[in-house]
């Protein structure tokens, strides 16, 4: 893990942490929450909110929560 990069940049990139289908499902969950706050994915003029709080769905049913519990996550090379 790139600890120095995390300290410097504030984030870490983990390649192949989950597959493209999980990423697409995560995007849909995120857009659903944003749309409930009046943010339209097709209208960048609505992308002005400085912060939107979004709680994870209860019960661990969201795509990222399921992927985190999955033993089928891709292995690193």
pLDDT recorded at residue 16:
83
- Rounded to an integer, what distance in angstroms lies between the CA atom of residue 77 and that of residue 55? 33
Contact 30, 54 (CB under 8 A): yes
pLDDT recorded at residue 76:
47
15-67 residue pLDDT tens: 888 888 888 888 888 898 899 889 999 999 998 867 887 776 677 777 777 77
pTM of this structure: 0.59
Structural domain boundaries of the chain?
Answer: 17-69
User: How would residue 9 be classed by pLDDT, with cut points 50, 70 and 90?
Assistant: very high
φ, ψ (nearest 5 deg) of residue 73: -60, 140
- Tell me 70's DSSP state: -
pLDDT recorded at residue 43:
95
Contact 46, 40 (CB under 8 A): yes
């Amino acid at each position: 893990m790139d600890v120095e990069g995390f300290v410097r940049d504030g984030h870490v990139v983990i390649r192949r942490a989950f597959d493209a289908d999980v990423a697409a499902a995560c995007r849909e969950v995120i857009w659903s929450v944003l749309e409930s706050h009046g943010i339209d994915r097709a209208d960048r003029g609505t992308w002005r909110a400085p912060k939107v709080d979004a709680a994870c769905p209860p019960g661990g049913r969201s795509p990222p929560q399921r992927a985190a519990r999955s033993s089928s996550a891709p292995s690193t090379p």
